[in-house]
Amino acid sequence: GEVVGDDRAERKPNFTRDAGSCSDTVIKSGKGSYVETEDGRKLLDFTCGIAVTNLGHCHPKVSEAAAKQCMTLVHGQCSVAFHNPYLQLIDQLLPLMPHPSLDTFFFWNSGAEAVEASIKLARTATGRQNVIVMQGGYHGRTFGTMGLTRSKTIYSERVGPLMPGVFVTPFPFWHQMGLPQSTPEEELVRQCLFQLDMVLKQQTTAADTAAILIEPVIGEGGYIPAPASFLQGLRKICDQHGILLIHDEVQCGFGRTGKMFYSEYSGVRPDIMVMAKGLANGFPLSAIVSQKAIMDKMAPGTMGGTYAGNAVSCAAAVAVTKAFEEEKILQNVQARSKQLFAALEDFRKEPEIASVLIDVRGKGLMVGAEFGSPAVQAQGSDNNAGAAAKLPSKFASRVSAKCMERGMLLLTTSVFEVVRFMPPLNISEADMRKGIEIFKDAVREVVR
């Protein structure tokens, strides 16, 4: 994260500067769409702890299930013995998978651990070593995943060498490709698939390539949904060359985009899918899922970890999956998404906003708003833009800070000037309206 100032270091001498890099607010409690700070402020939470507490803070049924499990069995250890929540969770997850071939699970604690496991599995299953990742992708900050993350240099600065055998291919996003915003989607996809073909001809031959790893909606890299035709193109290339397709749905999965998994929009079947974050609504739990034939290529004992598939986390996740159906969460995501997009599009019509809010994009309640200048829109870069056309510096961070002052948590993302909306999936219409108004006032204040 970014260092805010030295006064914090004075007040909190025993924290690394990395903790609290977005704010040094202390949260006392959370309920639904709000958190309460130590000094009694109620903040509307449009971050969900980075897309984790998707059903709101302390969802009664999830917390109750976890509390009950705490009194029953906390830790089982999946190599020693199964426990009931582990088995129940698999039963609950099976019908939610985007494709019936995804029928075999393994659990971990964090997203990064599960991503690493997906690479380990792909290498073992194919007998090949290299991995192709997307420019702008984020997969974690462990030693393995740092080498796969290409959204910002800060995540791996001064700690290399990173994991070798990783090749980067462009993702269809006009700004990152240095193209005008008006470039048609088909053209972006065509160029990206062409470059991927070049990567396979010039840098890592298919016979050496185990997997293509993609976030179907780029998260930390700027909230950019992959066009269906791009995911379909990747599937085709993987099929042609015996390469495994890995979808990292850690951030975009579990209802965030209005379907249980984003893959459902394109109908593309991944060979391996990675899940975490919303899976247990705040309890540490992640998973990979694949076909049994692929999964069973791993010898027993080669995957796992002490806390992998913890009983309390699994019990919470079981409650999460039940709540999705009982509380019609996906319907709410669709409705609130329409509300949010309509409001942001309206906002863009205001004369002083139109020239700074250059893009509103995303799916469901995974929505990014990008700030920039007309020169950026026209050229895909502001290298040659005149001073008059330039956006005030750190625009997105300033919007985020103003939102905080006005009572809402809103995060920025990527190397571009982007704020990301990830409110709870069960947020009410009134709270969504409130959040939108806070955002609009914050932007107006920064523009002035």
User: Which two structure tokens, joined as six digits, stand for 106?
Assistant: 């393994």
Kindly tell me which residue out of 4, 22, 27, 50 binds ligand PMP, with binding defined by CB under 6 A: 50
Nearer to ligand PMP, 155 or 167 (CB): 155
| Type of residue at 146 | M
Tell the smallest beta-carbon distance from residue 40 to ligand PMP (Å).
30
The packing angle between helices 60-70 and 311-326, to 10°, is 150
Kindly tell me which residue out of 108, 138, 230, 265 binds ligand PMP, with binding defined by CB under 6 A: 138
User: Which two structure tokens, joined as six digits, stand for 182?
Assistant: 């008006």
Nearer to ligand PMP, 115 or 333 (CB): 115
Tell the smallest beta-carbon distance from residue 181 to ligand PMP (Å).
24
| Type of residue at 32 | G
Determine, following the binding rule CB under 6 A, whether residue 33 of this chain makes contact with ligand PMP: no
Determine, following the binding rule CB under 6 A, whether residue 312 of this chain makes contact with ligand PMP: no
Contact present, 165 and 131 (Cβ < 8 Å): yes
Tell the smallest beta-carbon distance from residue 199 to ligand PMP (Å).
21
Report the C-alpha gap between 321 and 246 in whole angstroms.
23
Contact present, 389 and 374 (Cβ < 8 Å): yes
Determine, following the binding rule CB under 6 A, whether residue 258 of this chain makes contact with ligand PMP: no
| Binding positions for ligand PMP, 139-168, rule CB under 6 A | 139-140
Nearer to ligand PMP, 143 or 378 (CB): 143
Determine, following the binding rule CB under 6 A, whether residue 270 of this chain makes contact with ligand PMP: no
Tell the smallest beta-carbon distance from residue 317 to ligand PMP (Å).
14
Q: Which of 294, 365, 299, 356 is nearest to 332 (CA)?
A: 365
Q: Which stretch binds ligand PMP (CB under 6 A): 83-91, 100-108, 137-145, 305-313?
A: 137-145
Nearer to ligand PMP, 256 or 402 (CB): 256
Nearer to ligand PMP, 279 or 357 (CB): 279
Tell the smallest beta-carbon distance from residue 250 to ligand PMP (Å).
4
Residue with smallest beta-carbon separation from ligand PMP: 111
| Binding positions for ligand PMP, 180-219, rule CB under 6 A | 215, 219
User: Which two structure tokens, joined as six digits, stand for 402?
Assistant: 């103003």
Contact present, 369 and 341 (Cβ < 8 Å): no
Determine, following the binding rule CB under 6 A, whether residue 128 of this chain makes contact with ligand PMP: no
Largest CA distance in the chain: 66
Tell the smallest beta-carbon distance from residue 141 to ligand PMP (Å).
7
Kindly tell me which residue out of 45, 116, 248, 359 binds ligand PMP, with binding defined by CB under 6 A: 248
Tell the smallest beta-carbon distance from residue 111 to ligand PMP (Å).
2
Nearer to ligand PMP, 138 or 307 (CB): 138
Determine, following the binding rule CB under 6 A, whether residue 115 of this chain makes contact with ligand PMP: yes
Q: Which of 220, 239, 10 is nearest to 115 (CA)?
A: 220
Q: Which stretch binds ligand PMP (CB under 6 A): 107-115, 171-179, 293-301, 310-318?
A: 107-115
Nearer to ligand PMP, 112 or 192 (CB): 112
Tell the smallest beta-carbon distance from residue 220 to ligand PMP (Å).
6
Nearer to ligand PMP, 69 or 110 (CB): 110
Kindly tell me which residue out of 33, 47, 110, 321 binds ligand PMP, with binding defined by CB under 6 A: 110
Q: Which of 298, 219, 289 is nearest to 251 (CA)?
A: 219
Determine, following the binding rule CB under 6 A, whether residue 116 of this chain makes contact with ligand PMP: no
Q: Which residues here bind ligand PMP, judged by CB under 6 A?
A: 50, 110-112, 115, 138-140, 215, 219-220, 248, 250-251, 276
